[in-house]
Amino acid sequence: MQYIQDIKQILAQARQKTYTAINAAMVEAYWKIGEKIVLEEQQGKERATYGEAILKELSKALSQDFGKGFSERNLRNMRQFFIAFPKIEIWQTLSAKLSWSHFQLVMSISNKDARQYYLTEAAQQGWSVRTLERNIDTMYYQRLLSSQAKDIVENEMIANTQYLQNDALDFIKNPTVLEFLSLPTGLSYSEADLEKALINNLQQFILELGKGFAFVARQQHIQTETADFYIDLVFYNYYLKCFVIIELKTTKLTHQDIGQLDMYVRMYDDLKKPKEDNPTIGILLCTETDKTIAKYSVLANNKQLFASKYVDYLPTEQQLIDEIEKQKLLLKLNNPNEQR
């Protein structure tokens, strides 16, 4: 009966509100505990030895009165929480949407702007702890910054917590990490196999693409007076207010691929795009980019076209760092007139 369902919904909402309030209160308590520990440690002459003694004594006292959850390890996390976020207003507004586990994950990140970015995005986009961990492991923030052609001040981007609607580079990550596809690493597979794997893991692919993407079509048919064409994947980005078409290549980037993508973007603008939308963006996902093509093809002058390398496995941190630096170099070649 409907009234029973309504009552169940009321109780479920009340429980969620209660959980949210308790979670926010406990996160604040952990920060305050961390503050007290740091202030107490600063009074000790031998800081390291004195600090460990404080944690051991405090853990014993709190465990006796409040039970589990106050081991020396957890107390170190609380201390690190305060050190990482010394100003309470930096994280307090996010605590209603994030768990203590979210905060624990970001505390190990040395870059303060990256920490704030991950917390803000996790809260705004509803990232689970698992999603946040995956994005940190794949250096989501660094890959996003590496794709920007303009020197955007990181602090400013974080403070605004909004992407520039007319700058697609704020949405393009390079390289793109697709380890969730479970494709046979080191073995060949077809573009059809790659497309099928992306569709079967669409939710994770959209999370990897970034903010504001919605799936539109697969193999979308475009017909002209003389021929028929099929675009691999079409998305819409409601922040950029434009369509985003993605072409998939399981080989190294070629000038023919860029020419095809350029044609598809022009056709889409002419035949599909509503007048009120911004120009269509084209992204070519390939296994390897090329500096010569980046410099001398239409990629160098067309701000609506992008080539992004994808990897079908989870790289090590050093592999990601090396790849990000490589893509930065390609980006400079791709934008020779930009002031870096």
Q: What is the pLDDT of residues 41-70, one digit of tens each?
A: 877 555 556 667 888 899 999 998 888 889
Q: Domain ranges for the chain, please list them.
A: 2-136, 144-334
Share of the chain above pLDDT 70, in %: 87
CATH number among 3.30.1050.10, 3.40.50.300, 3.40.50.150, 3.40.1350.10, domain 144-334? 3.40.1350.10
Checking 333-338 for CB contacts under 8 A at 24+ apart, the result is 333/291, 333/294, 333/295, 333/300, 334/149, 334/294, 334/295, 334/299, 334/300, 335/149, 335/300, 336/295, 336/300, 338/149, 338/150
184-214 pLDDT per residue, tens: 776 788 999 999 999 999 999 998 998 889 9
Which comes out higher in pLDDT, residue 265 or 339? 265
Greater model confidence, 294 or 72: 72
pLDDT per position as a tens digit, 106-115: 998 989 889 9
Q: How confident is the model at residue 183 (pLDDT cuts 50, 70, 90)?
A: confident
| pLDDT over 70 (residue 231) | yes
Tokens of 107: 């505390």
Mean pLDDT to the nearest integer, 260-277: 94
82-96: pLDDT as tens digits: 999 888 877 888 888
Average pLDDT of the chain is: 83
**Per-residue confidence (pLDDT) for residue 334, from 0 to 100:** 57
Model confidence at 337, pLDDT cuts 50, 70, 90, reads low
**242-248 and 213-223 beta bridge pairing:** unpaired
- Comparing 47-51, 109-113, 260-264, 307-311, the range with the smallest average pLDDT is 47-51
Mean pLDDT of 1-24: 85
Q: pLDDT band for position 340 (50/70/90)?
A: very low
- Predicted confidence at residue 161, as pLDDT, reads 32
Sheet holding 228-237, edge to edge: 176-177, 305-311, 281-286, 242-248, 228-237, 213-223
307 pairs with which residues across the strands? 284
Q: What is the pLDDT of residue 193?
A: 93
Share of residues in the chain with pLDDT > 90 (%): 44
Please say if the pLDDT value at position 149 is more than 50: no
pLDDT in tens, 118-143: 999 999 889 999 999 999 999 999 88
Confidence class for position 296, pLDDT limits 50, 70, 90: confident
Distance in angstroms (rounded) separating the CA atoms of residues 150 and 258: 23
Fold of 2-136: Arc Repressor Mutant, subunit A (1.10.10)
Q: Does pTM top 0.85 for this prediction?
A: no
The CA distances from residue 53 to 69, 76, 226, in Å, are 18, 12, 81
pLDDT for residue 157 is more than 80: no
Is the predicted pLDDT of residue 97 greater than 80, yes or no?
Answer: yes
